[in-house]
Every structure is written in C-alpha cells, then in structure tokens.
Amino acid sequence: MSQELRVKIFADGADKADILRLYADERIKGFTTNPTLMRKAGISDYEAFARDILSHIKDRPISFEVFSDDFAEMERQALKIAEWGSNVYVKIPVTNSEAKPSYDLIHRLAQRKVQLNVTAIMTMAQVRDVSLALENHAPSNVSVFAGRIADTGVDPVPMMAASVAMCAAYPKQELIWASPRELLNIFQADAIGCQIITVTPDVLKKLSLVGKDLTIYSLETVKMFSTDAAAAGFTL
C-alpha cells in the first residue's frame, strides 16, 4: 500500500516487541516515541531503552523526546540524545509546561545541526514560529497533532494543508501528521502532500482492510453479530 502513497508512515509507540516487528515491515519508514508512551510500556531506564532500540534500528529515523521542563536542561538532554545515533531526531515540545515558547532553544539546536522533531504543535502561529526557528540548518520535523485538533471538533485538514505550504519554504523541514485517529488519516495526509504520518500499532493493524470489498465486509459484520449473539446465549 505504501508504494502507492507519497506520505511516509512512521510507527508511534514504545513497546520493543511492536517496534521490532514493525521494523521488519518495509512500509514503516521511521519511528517515534515519547515519555508518556514509554511510561505506559513500563520503561524505567530511558537511555538504556533508547540505546537498546538503536542497536537494532540504525537505518531509519527514530525520535526520542527530552523530558525536562527547564530550557537549559532540555538543551543538555537534547545534545546528549543527538549523540546516540545519526538516525536520531530529538523531540522538543513547542512550549514548556508554563507555556513559555521553545523557539530560541529550537533555533540554537538547529544551528548546531541537531536533527529535531518539534512536537505538540496545534496552531498555525506555532507552525509559523517553529518553521522560522528551524530554518534550513538540519533535517527536521514539524509535528502537528492533527488528531487532537480533530478531537476538539475542528477539521484539521485545512490547517495541515496550510502547514505543508508554510514548511515548503525550507526543504529540510518535513511536516508530521501526528496523533491520527483512523486509517483514513493516512490518505488525507497523502492527499495534501504531508510528508510523514505517525501511526500507532492499533491503527496499523487496519492496513489489511485497504481496498476490501465492502459487500463482503458487510456480510462479515453481520456474521460477527450473529456469532456473538449465539455465543452469549441471548434469548427473548
């Protein structure tokens, strides 16, 4: 399927077994993770986990996020993480938890040729300022959380399309459609020229449904309801 698409599919998660399984899938072009996913996966040693994954994955981009709320400490962590491998992208949140923008830090790191993935972006103003801070110093990702935007009842497609156009001024920048909620988002991202979409293993499982005959799918659904009703022993 991915051969028919321009958008690159990155797997999003922190479960080692899932990551290595998806690494064997040529459709998966990269990987992302974050502290929340790592905590859910029960990871306690951040660096040990990252280095273990990187010992297996050396030829596709993979993002690891800083976890400090202090910009000076973020910078120290970013420089350390960047040393772990040539395929490593360092995730920097667009602001800290006090709503202070990270743009100055992003600019300094970009000037030092650190490959960045700026994350948790949800407004056009943030896209503009992140893109300007990154400029064209090193390969970088502008990660817009389209799924979370959609969760608020706002159609993210117009904003994502505008973001593609905005980042196009800098060839080393790639836009990420982050936090997708359904498989359809892959095709929406592709249609607007978004370069990357991060997808969880649960959504990736639905790739086998692409192109499925809907009449057959309808019948399978009816059979599922019938089988489950019988298995439950329902009577009226």
**In whole numbers, what is the pLDDT of the chain averaged over residues?**
96
Two tokens at 59?
Answer: 């030829």
Q: Helices 184-191 and 157-167 sit at what angle, rounded to 10 degrees?
A: 40
Question: Could you give the C-alpha distances from 112 to 87, 119, 136, 170, 179, in angstroms and in order?
Answer: 16, 19, 12, 17, 29
Give the percent of the chain with pLDDT over 90: 95
pLDDT at residue 9, as a whole number = 97
The rounded Cα 71 to chain-centroid distance in angstroms is 23
Q: How confident is the model at residue 187 (pLDDT cuts 50, 70, 90)?
A: very high
Distance CA 66, CA 81 (A): 8
Distance CA 183, CA 147 (A): 12
Dihedral of alpha carbons 121, 41, 38, 51, sign: negative
Going along the chain, which residue ranges are E strands?
Answer: 8-12, 28-32, 62-65, 88-93, 116-121, 140-144, 173-177, 196-199
**3 pLDDT exceeds 70?**
no
pLDDT at residue 4, as a whole number = 81
3-state helix, strand, coil in the chain (%, to 5): 50, 20, 35
Two tokens at 91?
Answer: 């995730």
pLDDT at residue 2, as a whole number = 43
**176 pLDDT exceeds 60?**
yes
Q: What would the pLDDT profile of 47-84 be if each residue is shown by its tens digit? A: 999 999 999 999 999 999 999 999 999 999 999 999 99
Domain boundary assignment for the chain: 2-208
Residues in the chain: 236
Query: The domain 2-208 belongs to what CATH superfamily?
Result: Aldolase class I (3.20.20.70)
Q: What pTM was estimated for this model as a whole?
A: 0.93
Is-contact 120 93, C-beta < 8 A?
yes
